[in-house]
Amino acid sequence: MTDFIDIIEALGAYPGIEDASAFGSYVKGRNVYKDSLLLADGILFMVNKTDPFTKELVAITDEPHLLAGLATNTSIHTGKHMMARCPMNVANAYWFMARYKNLGPKSMKDHPVSVGLGDRLGLVTPGHVASVRKTSAFPVFAQQSIRELNLTGRTFKDVLADAFWGAFRAGWREGFGADGDHLKTEEEVKYALDSGFSMITLDCSNHIGSERIGGVRAKPLSIKAGGTYKLTDGTVMAFSDNEIRNYTAIYQNAIEFTSAIYHDLLVGCGRKVDFELSIDETGTPTDPKAHYFVAKQLVDEGVPLTSLAPRFIGEFQKGIDYIGDIARFGEDFVLHQAIADTFGYKLSVHSGSDKFSIYPSVAELSKGRFHLKTAGTNWLEALRVVMSANPELFAQMYSYAKEHLDEAKAYYKVDVDKAYVPDAIGIGSFDRPNVRQMMHITYGLLLSAKTAAGEPLFRTRLYRCLRENEDLLGRTVEGHIDNHLKALGLIKS
Ligand code: ZN
């Protein structure tokens, strides 16, 4: 308990502290994360590493009442100063985000470029911070789908708290987005909103394609057969009777569902929430006319979208580059972009990790206004670290993944076949597409695997290894995201 006494005493010498970095010299030699130092409203905060696996928040103030509500492990008073050592848990993260609104989730609306990062393990936000810092893009550090929550055994609050602490420790003070990704029901949207998320990605795939059964629309369609509709780039959209019937049958339920979610839940939730509509999880690419049909009706029903994710031409498989014709992707993208521009939202590119060959087109054709969701491959980068830091653990995880590949394929659509995946790999084979895809989709099985005695088979050792090697993990993830941001022209190389 005495190791921070000199910091506290030094506070006496800095009655008018304005810059927390003035304390840099006092934290040298301790395991304090220098970037975490924050002086706010009379409290000096810092993150201290107590052992390779544990971190704590240290708060120092001469007005102890300011710390009311913050859970503390221990506290001491010397003279007029109080120092509290606090767990970096979910409750304390929410204490922070309620008190210092600029540090937590916020809307991305005013930022032309935004990048969804996501972190299945809750360990890689500092690496994301290091990369995003080199750009003016707005980061969405917290981004998970319900599927990911179920497969990793986490809650939305866990996800947001982990992202918050990661950002806090790395000195990110500009706020970030928190995206409840691919939410499909009213309950899931409520769950994300109640957890403080700043963005809702509504996946209405369950309402698309089903022939509209019964019921009469309360309002007439805002698009008429024979009518022509001009986009801001001059393109004219015209709809035949047949097309209107067809799009109504496919999309009307989804439009009504989206409108109800917006009006019932997002309006009046007391804060600005970004609303993204995802129609990308469908069997075929989204016809631009269908995109227009959906967007126009939503706008006419008073639903302002922040972004919309169509299913673009080509294949966006997890963990590997785009599969398809890049020129055709570009032609398709331009049409969707013109619609997005007409209605004032951004296009959102999903499954956007590792799609290096199309990034230059996305950056150019969107005229620098887009949302990109890169997500799960941070898990692969974490595994890359395990492979070099603990090859034995990696080898065990690899064989388990191969053994259970077919189970994982029930959750994710990828073209990876057990027969073509090697039984064991060396470091040079990690980037083989089938290896990446296999390891990418088996994360849930690997994290939840148990021994005969019911103990975690890999989870504990995996977290231990990654915490022990957090610098390497941070650098690896930073490099991986840097590659994305460079290809997008956001980091000049
Ligand atoms: Zn998606």
CA of 261 to the centre of ligand 1 (A): 18
CA of 309 to the centre of ligand 1 (A): 7
CA of 124 to the centre of ligand 1 (A): 21
Q: What is the pLDDT of residue 362?
A: 96
Closest by CA position to 93, among listed 119, 112, 71: 71
- Which are the catalytic amino acids? 181, 276
Whole-Å CA distances, 421 to 95, 401, 417: 47, 11, 7
Asked if 198 contacts 177 with a C-beta cutoff of 8 angstroms, the reply is yes
Q: What is the pLDDT of residue 21?
A: 61
CA of 351 to the centre of ligand 1 (A): 6
Residues in the chain: 493
CA of 395 to the centre of ligand 1 (A): 31
Residue that the structure tokens 């918050």 belong to: 164
Q: What is the pLDDT of residue 10?
A: 62
Q: How far apart are CA 131 and CA 119, in angstroms?
A: 14
Q: How far apart are CA 393 and CA 311, in angstroms?
A: 38
Neighbours of ion ligand 1 (CB under 5 A): 278, 280, 350
Q: What is the pLDDT of residue 420?
A: 87
Q: How far apart are CA 183 and CA 186, in angstroms?
A: 8
Whole-Å CA distances, 74 to 9, 30, 43, 57, 394: 18, 18, 17, 11, 38
Asked if 100 contacts 40 with a C-beta cutoff of 8 angstroms, the reply is yes
Q: Which residues in the chain land under pLDDT 50?
A: 1-2, 13-17, 214-216
Asked if 43 contacts 37 with a C-beta cutoff of 8 angstroms, the reply is no
CA of 350 to the centre of ligand 1 (A): 5
CA of 211 to the centre of ligand 1 (A): 23
Residue type, 330: G
